[in-house]
Every structure is written in structure tokens, then in C-alpha cells.
């Protein structure tokens, strides 16, 4: 990437150490913890860097990584479209100002209410929206509802890539139409719909080492596109990895873009990509405060007020997130286990990691919390969801209120 491009899009990665400790401490004092802090300028820099790397491709942001309205607006302002995985995400995208033609809805075993809602919005205020169908049944159900708009066919390319088996989707039978049946389904679909594209998503966490799998997927999609002809776009999915470990190098976007172009070959259709994680991961941190410190066989266990209900990735994927003690200048390091308040052994942010000796009331920052962070927050153990503040050129504001205890029983009425 040229130096001007770096200037416009910021450094390729923002590490946890790059966040100003004093600012984070002020925010924790003002808004309490646990607290997500999201930097919208970083979101826009990431989005702009993607567009620069794929200058002639359509870039849709995979909304499920972070669906907050402030983030969606920032992403739209940076020129990305919205890739939605549910009717709820379509509704959120429309609310944030995306127009129908900027929205792609990828239906995986869509519940009836999802299809009802999406078709209704398509008739109403989201004309131009594209539905990505991964099964013949989905096309039938759309036809039953009178949908005759833009369709793309999700193909199972038979190759997957990802940082964990649970996010490797490309080769799994759950996702998409088997490769060798895609051309037939596509031809049938042309009778009733405006077939505009083919789509595949290999999984999450494409790194430099995984480029071969990515190349293979893209090459297959290129072959299919040449085979069926007359398409507007070939969507090769998202999955661009981010360096969760502090010593991991950032993804070489230019290399991914080159490999993608080369593997796709000559096709008479636009390239489309749909990254989620890459756009938001390093744009947010989670702040949490130590409330309990315990000695256990040479290890310090630091109990904190965030847990697997606040940030699920460590418990669900064994994911690594950098942790920084913002109050521990100069304290010696020792093995520290950081544990949440939920009654589950999986409720740990790290185990026996070298960190400064913890003390009660220390403020910890958890890095790379922007993607699938707040989004996967839940209320297990009756823990209300945390607050989120966003920062942009105008300053800091509350983007999502902290959930109150009354919300926990609100759906149960006043029995």
C-alpha cells in the first residue's frame, strides 16, 4: 500500500497498547464497568482500507460482527454496503440508513417470520435488496411470498477456512447448494427471479497461511461464474483475519486482494467481498474492573465484573484476547487467571497468563473486542448486558445504555 493510502486509512492494526490509558480510565469512571468503548474513526479507517485494497469490488460489511446503529452509520458513511444474516439485521440496516440496493440478505434456513419480514420490506421500502438463497426450498418459499426480485445463489464450494471448526463454513453441508448442483439451480431460478450473483463464504479468520484455501474457493467460484454466465457479481465472502495475539503480524490485505483477483481469473462480473470482523475488531476494547483477588497455587486469580456473558469468544472458541492492566505500572508480572462472575468453568478471559500482579479495583482492558463482542453478549446467570460508548470526531457518547435488572423479567409480565 502506498504511503498516502496508509495516511488515509491509518495503521494496518491497532494494538491494545495504542489506546490511551488515561482516556479509558476516565470513561470507566464516568460510565462504570463492564463497558465497551468503540472508536468509530477506527471503524471508518478499516472500511476505507478495505475499499482501497479492493478498489473495483463491492464491499459489504457483515453486520453480524457488530450491529450497533452508530457503527452501521459509520460503515455506510465509509461507502460499504450491508450483508445481513437475519430479518432483524435487515431491519437494523434500514434503520441506520442503508437503502435496499445496498443490502444483501443471506438466508440460512430462514424462519418463516424472517422471510415474511424481508419480503414485506422489499415491497415497502427496500426494493433493490438482494436475497442470497442457499437451498431450493428457500427459493420456493420466496416464490410463495410473491418475491421476484434480486437473487444470488449461495454455493457450497467444498473448501473451508477458519480459525476454529465452529466458524469454518465453506465445506459444511449446512451452508449453500452443493457445488455440482449450483448451475442447475441457478438456471431454474432465472425463470422466476432476477438472478444477479453467486456467493460463497469459507469461514472466519483467513490468515496469510490460509490463503491457499481462499484461492481454491475463489478459483472454483470463477469457474462457476464462467460456466453460468450473465451475472452481476461473484461474492467470495468475508473471513479476513485480524491479529488477536499482540505479536501476530496484520493481514496483508494487498496480498489477499492480489490472490483473489488472480484466482478469480477473467469473469464478466464484479467481485464482491463481505468482511465483518476486519471492520470492527480492533476498533473496540472492553473495560472491566477487578473485584476479587485470590491466591491459588502460585497463580493469582483476578475476578472481574465482565464475563462470558459480556464477551463470549474466549468461552465459545477458546479465543485469545490481549489483556492490559491499566493501573499496574511497574508491578511485576506473574501468572494471572482472569475470571468472570458466571458459574461456569469456561468463564475465563485467560489462564495463567503473565500479567502484572493484580489488585482489587484495577481496571483491565480487553483488546480486539469490537467483532462478535457486544453482539454475542447475553443475559445468562441474569447478568444484564453492558453499556457501550462510541467515540468519533465530536467526542464520546453513550451508544447503548447499560441494561437494567428490570429488563430481565420484562418479558414475563407482572405476575
Ligand X SMILES: *Cc1c(COP(=O)(O)O)cnc(C)c1O
In this complex, which beta carbon is closest to ligand X, that of residue 65 or of residue 126? 65
Q: Is 350 a catalytic residue?
A: no
- 3-state SS, residue 116: helix
Q: By CB under 6 A, is residue 238 in contact with ligand X?
A: yes
C-beta of residue 263 within 8 angstroms of C-beta of residue 218: yes
Q: How far apart are CA 413 and CA 351, in angstroms?
A: 41
90 to 149, contacts with ligand X by CB under 6 A? 106
- Distance in Å, CB of 371 to ligand X, minimum: 6
Q: How far apart are CA 398 and CA 391, in angstroms?
A: 9
Q: By CB under 6 A, is residue 201 in contact with ligand X?
A: yes
Pairing type for strands 387-392 and 35-39 reads parallel
- Which of 117, 204, 337, 368 is the binder for ligand X (CB under 6 A)? 204
Helix ranges, 78-166 (H) = 87-95, 112-124, 136-144
Q: By CB under 6 A, is residue 303 in contact with ligand X?
A: no
Q: How far apart are CA 60 and CA 112, in angstroms?
A: 25
Report the residue count for the chain.
Answer: 415
Q: By CB under 6 A, is residue 260 in contact with ligand X?
A: no
Q: Tell me how many residues contact ligand X (CB under 6 A).
A: 17
Q: How far apart are CA 42 and CA 163, in angstroms?
A: 24
Q: How far apart are CA 352 and CA 316, in angstroms?
A: 19
User: Which among 60-68, 190-198, 252-260, 373-381 is the span making contact with ligand X, rule CB under 6 A?
Assistant: 60-68
Q: By CB under 6 A, is residue 341 in contact with ligand X?
A: no
- Distance in Å, CB of 289 to ligand X, minimum: 29
Q: By CB under 6 A, is residue 34 in contact with ligand X?
A: no
In this complex, which beta carbon is closest to ligand X, that of residue 317 or of residue 380? 317
- Which of 275, 356, 367, 373 is the binder for ligand X (CB under 6 A)? 275
Q: By CB under 6 A, is residue 276 in contact with ligand X?
A: yes
Set 20, 173, 343, 405: catalytic member: 343
C-beta of residue 256 within 8 angstroms of C-beta of residue 206: yes
What residues are paired with 331 via a beta bridge?
none
Q: By CB under 6 A, is residue 282 in contact with ligand X?
A: no
Q: By CB under 6 A, is residue 62 in contact with ligand X?
A: yes
C-beta of residue 340 within 8 angstroms of C-beta of residue 349: yes
User: Which among 4-12, 207-215, 269-277, 282-290 is the span making contact with ligand X, rule CB under 6 A?
Assistant: 269-277
Q: By CB under 6 A, is residue 65 in contact with ligand X?
A: yes
Q: By CB under 6 A, is residue 374 in contact with ligand X?
A: no
- 3-state SS, residue 352: strand
- Which of 239, 303, 341, 356 is the binder for ligand X (CB under 6 A)? 239
- Distance in Å, CB of 157 to ligand X, minimum: 13
Q: By CB under 6 A, is residue 89 in contact with ligand X?
A: no
Q: By CB under 6 A, is residue 68 in contact with ligand X?
A: no
C-beta of residue 75 within 8 angstroms of C-beta of residue 69: no
What residues are paired with 286 via a beta bridge?
36, 366
Q: By CB under 6 A, is residue 163 in contact with ligand X?
A: no
Query: Where does residue 112 rank: exposed (0-12), middle (13-18), buried (19+ CB within 10 A)?
Result: exposed
- Distance in Å, CB of 169 to ligand X, minimum: 7
Q: How far apart are CA 323 and CA 151, in angstroms?
A: 43
Q: By CB under 6 A, is residue 49 in contact with ligand X?
A: no
User: Which residue is it, cell 457518547?
Assistant: 397
Query: What letter does residue 293 receive in the DSSP assignment?
Result: E
Q: By CB under 6 A, is residue 289 in contact with ligand X?
A: no
Residue positions annotated with a catalytic role: 343
Q: Which residues bind ligand X (CB under 6 A)?
A: 62, 64-65, 83, 85, 106, 201, 204, 237-240, 274-278
Amino acid at each position: 500500500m502506498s504511503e498516502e493510502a496508509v495516511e488515509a486509512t491509518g495503521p494496518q492494526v491497532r494494538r491494545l497498547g495504542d489506546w490511551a490509558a488515561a482516556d479509558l480510565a476516565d470513561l470507566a469512571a464516568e460510565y462504570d464497568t463492564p463497558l465497551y468503548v468503540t472508536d468509530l474513526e477506527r471503524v471508518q479507517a478499516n472500511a476505507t482500507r478495505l475499499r482501497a485494497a479492493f478498489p473495483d469490488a463491492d464491499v459489504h460489511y457483515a453486520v453480524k460482527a457488530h450491529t450497533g446503529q452508530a457503527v452501521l452509520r459509520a460503515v455506510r458513511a465509509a461507502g460499504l454496503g450491508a450483508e445481513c444474516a437475519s430479518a432483524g439485521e435487515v431491519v437494523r440496516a434500514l434503520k441506520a440508513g442503508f437503502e435496499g440496493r445496498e443490502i444483501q440478505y443471506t438466508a440460512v434456513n430462514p424462519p418463516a417470520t424472517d422471510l415474511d419480514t424481508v419480503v414485506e420490506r422489499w415491497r415497502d421500502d427496500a426494493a433493490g435488496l438482494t436475497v442470497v438463497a442457499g437451498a431450493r426450498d428457500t427459493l420456493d418459499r420466496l416464490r410463495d411470498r410473491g418475491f421476484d426480485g434480486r437473487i444470488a445463489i449461495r454455493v457450497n464450494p467444498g473448501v473451508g477456512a477458519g480459525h476454529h471448526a465452529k466458524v469454518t463454513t465453506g465445506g459444511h453441508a449446512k451452508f449453500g447448494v452443493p457445488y455440482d448442483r449450483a448451475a442447475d439451480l441457478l438456471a431454474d431460478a432465472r425463470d422466476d427471479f432476477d438472478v444477479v450473483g453467486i456467493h460463497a463464504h469459507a469461514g472466519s479468520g483467513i490468515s496469510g497461511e490460509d490463503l491457499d484455501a481462499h484461492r481454491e474457493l475463489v478459483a472454483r467460484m470463477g469457474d462457476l461464474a464462467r460456466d453460468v454466465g450473465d451475472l452481476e457479481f461473484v461474492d467470495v465472502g468475508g473471513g479476513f483475519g485480524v491479529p488477536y495475539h499482540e505479536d501476530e503480524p496484520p493481514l496483508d490485505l494487498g496480498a489477499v486482494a492480489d490472490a483473489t483477483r488472480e484466482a478469480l481469473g477473467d469473469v464478466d462480473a464484479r467481485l464482491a467481498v463481505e468482511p465483518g470482523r476486519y471492520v470492527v475488531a480492533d476498533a473496540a476494547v472492553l473495560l472491566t474492573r477487578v473485584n476479587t483477588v485470590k491466591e491459588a497455587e502460585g497463580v493469582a486469580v483476578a475476578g472481574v465484573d465482565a464475563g462470558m456473558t459480556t464477551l463470549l469468544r474466549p468461552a465459545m472458541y477458546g479465543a485469545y484476547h490481549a489483556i492490559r492492566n491499566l493501573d499496574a505500572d511497574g508491578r511485576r508480572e506473574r501468572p494471572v487467571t482472569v475470571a468472570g462472575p458466571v458459574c461456569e468453568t469456561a468463564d475465563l478471559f485467560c489462564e495463567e497468563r503473565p500479567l502484572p500482579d493484580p489488585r482489587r479495583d484495577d481496571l483491565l482492558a480487553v483488546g480486539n473486542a469490537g467483532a462478535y463482542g457486544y453482539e454475542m453478549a447475553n443475559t445468562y446467570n441474569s447478568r444484564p448486558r453492558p453499556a457501550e460508548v462510541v467515540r468519533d470526531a465530536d467526542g464520546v457518547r453513550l451508544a447503548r445504555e447499560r441494561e437494567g435488572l428490570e429488563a430481565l423479567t420484562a418479558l414475563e409480565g407482572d405476575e
